[in-house]
């Protein structure tokens, strides 16, 4: 154990095995009871712990953590494994993927199942960014000596934008919980200015164009008669013509004022004198 700890603490040491190495070497040796000199991958029932506690329980790993896990089935050896933890559950996504040997693509060396951790209880729960790849050996005609799988735990890569949004939401929640008596921030409807509604131009009221009725004058033997077109006929306005309703309009028959008696005509001007001559002829 001292030799293993010394080698794992060496600067620059990383544990990044391939899928073929995980199945054909590490898991196969554990299932068939072959001992290894170094216990790089620990043996742990990960379903008794939440995923965020697993990095501290792993023998090695910085972003990926590996464990040998016994399969705890619900109903005997043929039932579905129990993947429920204290605060959530692991849910499988998609179907199992076959893993083949790189040297011999026709030989299948194992299967991989991808699972995502959810907080809460099934079937409801909140999805997290914790992911698990479960590797198991293929079962042929005879069952395996030990029902053990190899699990790789890691967190799904999160973009910087999502991390900034999470940090902003956490700060906002802290501010709300710190001042519970403060009034909530106004909504967009409260802060909306209604002046824009007044500034909007009022749509013009479209009135139907009135149909104009023109009269046609026809002069025939000094008699004038009016003819209306036949397209549209509208009721005419009749005014009362009685003597009691309208006063009689008095029009003088002859202009009594002499044009040349007006003071303005007394001005001595050649133009006025010439015009006065024609005025006398009119008054004749």
pLDDT for the residue 130? 96
Residue 207 maps to a domain: no
What is the spatial distance between Cα 128 and Cα 115, in angstroms, rounded to a whole number? 11
Q: Which pair of structure tokens corresponds to residue 145?
A: 């000596």
CA atoms within 13 A on the CB side of 206: 1
pLDDT for the residue 171? 86
Residue 202 maps to a domain: no
Residue 38 maps to a domain: yes
Residue 148 maps to a domain: yes
Residue 71: domain span: 2-6+28-157
Residues of the chain with pLDDT under 70: 1-10, 73-79, 141, 159, 179-284
Burial class from Cβ neighbours inside 10 Å (0-12, 13-18, 19+) for residue 231 reads exposed
Residue 238 maps to a domain: no
Q: What is the CATH number of the domain that holds 95?
A: 2.170.150.80
pLDDT for the residue 55? 94
Q: Which pair of structure tokens corresponds to residue 54?
A: 């697993």
Residue 99 maps to a domain: yes
Least Cα distance to 265 among 280, 275, 251 occurs for 275
How many folded domains does the chain comprise? 1
Residue 137 maps to a domain: yes
Residue 206 maps to a domain: no
Write the DSSP assignment of 77-143 as a string of letters. TTS-B--B-SSEEEEE-S--EEEE-SS-TTSEEEEEEEEEEEESSTT--EEEEEEEEEEEPPP-SS-
């Amino acid at each position: 154990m001292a030799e293993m700890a010394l080698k794992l603490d060496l600067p620059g040491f990383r544990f990044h095995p391939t899928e073929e190495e995980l199945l054909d070497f590490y898991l196969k040796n554990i299932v068939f009871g072959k001992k290894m000199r170094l216990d790089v991958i620990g043996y742990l029932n990960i379903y008794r712990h939440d995923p965020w506690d697993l990095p501290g329980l792993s023998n090695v790993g910085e972003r990926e953590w590996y464990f040998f896990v016994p399969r705890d089935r619900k109903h005997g050896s043929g039932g579905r494994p129990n993947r429920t933890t204290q605060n959530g559950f692991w849910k499988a996504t998609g179907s199992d993927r076959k893993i083949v040997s790189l040297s011999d693509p026709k030989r299948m060396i194992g299967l991989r199942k991808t699972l995502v951790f959810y907080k809460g209880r099934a079937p409801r729960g909140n999805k997290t960014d914790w992911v698990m790849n479960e590797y198991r050996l293929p079962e042929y005609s005879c069952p395996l000596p030990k029902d053990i799988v190899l699990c790789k735990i890691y967190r799904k890569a999160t973009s910087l934008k999502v991390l900034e949004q999470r940090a902003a939401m956490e700060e906002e929640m802290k501010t709300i919980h710190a001042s519970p008596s403060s009034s909530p921030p106004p909504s967009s409807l409260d802060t909306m200015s209604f002046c824009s509604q007044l500034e909007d131009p009022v749509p013009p009221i479209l009135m139907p164009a009135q149909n104009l009725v023109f009269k046609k004058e026809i002069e025939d033997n000094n008699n004038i008669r009016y003819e209306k077109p036949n397209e549209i006929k509208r009721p005419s306005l009749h005014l009362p013509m009685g003597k009691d309703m309208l006063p009689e309009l008095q029009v003088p028959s002859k202009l009594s004022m002499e044009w040349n008696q007006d003071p303005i005509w007394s001005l001595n001007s050649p133009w006025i004198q010439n015009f006065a001559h024609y005025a006398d002829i009119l008054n004749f």
